[in-house]
Amino acid sequence: MAEDSRGDPACGGMDGRQDPVPSSGGFTFPEYELPELNTHAFHVAAFGELWRGRLRGEGDLSLEEPPAPALPGDRRGTDSGCEDAAVARDLGCSLETAAELRAVCGLDKLKCLEEGEDPEVIPENTDLVTLGVRKKLLKHREETLTIDRACRQETFAYEMESHAIGKKPENSADMVEEGELILSVNIFYPVIFNKHKEHKPYQTMLVLGSQKLTELRDSICCVSDLQIGGELSNTPDQAPENISKDLYKSAFFYFEGTFYNDKRYPECRDLSRTIIEWSESHDRGYGKFQTAKMEDFTFSDLYIKVGFPYLYCHQGDCEHVVVITDIRLVHHDDCLDKTLYPLLIKKHWLWTRKCFVCKMFTARWVTNNDSFAPQDPCFFCDVCFRMLHYDAEGNKLGEFLAYPYVDPGTFN
Partner 1 sequence: MGAPAALKEDCEALLSRFQEMDSVRFEDFTELWRSMKFGTIFCGRMRNLEKNTFTKEALTSAWRYFLPPYTFQIRVGALYLLYGLYNMQLCQPKQKIRVSLKDWDEILKFQQDLINAQHFDAAYIFRKLRLDRAFHFTAMPKLVCYLKELSYRMKKKMQRAEITEEFKDPNDRVLKLITSDVLEEMMNVHDHYQRMKRVISADKSNPEKSLNLIKDDFFDNIKDIVLEHQQWHKDRKNPPLKLKVKGGEEKSERNSQHSERCERAESLAKIKSKAFSVVVQASKSRRHRQVKVDFSDSESGQVQTKTTRKRRNKETLKPAGRKVSSRDRGDMQKIHMEDKSLSLSMPVVTEEEEENESFSETEFTAPKRRRKQRTKS
Region 68-87 residues binding partner 1, contact defined as CB under 8 A? 69, 87
- Residue ranges in 295-334 that form contacts with partner 1 under rule CB under 8 A: 306-309, 321, 323, 325-329, 331-333
Q: Which of residues 160-189 bind partner 1 (CB under 8 A)?
A: 161-162, 165-166, 184, 186, 188
- Run of H or E residues at 143: helix 129-144
132 forms part of the interface with partner 1 (CB under 8 A): yes
Q: How far is the CB of 156 from partner 1 (least distance, A)?
A: 10
Of 196 and 273, CB closest to partner 1: 196
For residue 30, state whether it binds partner 1 (rule: CB under 8 A): yes
Q: What is the longest distance spanned by two Cα atoms in the chain? A: 94
Angle separating helix axes 77-91 and 95-104, nearest 10 degrees: 110
Instruction: Mention every residue, 6+ apart, whose C-beta is less than 8 A from residue 379.
Output: 353, 354, 355, 356, 363, 365, 366, 405
DSSP string for 171-234: SGGGBPPTT-EEEEEEEEEEP-TTT-SS--EEEEEEEETTSBHHHHHHH---GGGG---S--SS
The closest of 261, 322, 272 to 296, measured between CA atoms, is 261
Least Cβ distance, residue 356 to partner 1 (angstroms): 29
Task: Tell the smallest beta-carbon distance from residue 30 to partner 1 (Å).
Answer: 4
Binds partner 1 by CB under 8 A, chosen from 99, 157, 232, 275:
157
Q: Which of 41, 45, 50, 402 binds partner 1 (CB under 8 A)?
A: 50
How far apart are alpha carbons 140 and 256 in whole angstroms?
A: 49
Contact 184, 343 (CB under 8 A): no
Tell the smallest beta-carbon distance from residue 157 to partner 1 (Å): 6
**Position 113 contacts partner 1 (CB under 8 A):** yes
Residue whose CB is less far from partner 1, 28 or 261: 28
Residue whose CB is less far from partner 1, 194 or 375: 194
The span from the CA of 50 to the CA of 34, in Å, is 23
Region from 197-205, 232-240, 257-265, 398-406 binding partner 1, contact rule CB under 8 A = 197-205
Binding of partner 1 by 138 (CB under 8 A): yes
Q: Is 351 helix (H, G, I), strand (E, B) or coil?
A: coil
Residue from 8, 23, 55, 249 binding partner 1 (CB under 8 A): 55
Residue 114 binds partner 1, judged by CB under 8 A: no
Find the binder of partner 1 among 134, 139, 140, 168 (CB under 8 A).
Answer: 134
Give yes or no for residue 135 binding partner 1 (CB under 8 A): yes
Do residues 407 and 353 lie in contact, with contact meaning Cβ atoms separated by under 8 Å? yes
What Å distances lie between residue 144 and 138, 153, 278, 331, CA to CA? 10, 20, 58, 41
Residue 133 binds partner 1, judged by CB under 8 A:
yes
CB 253 within 8 A of CB 298: no
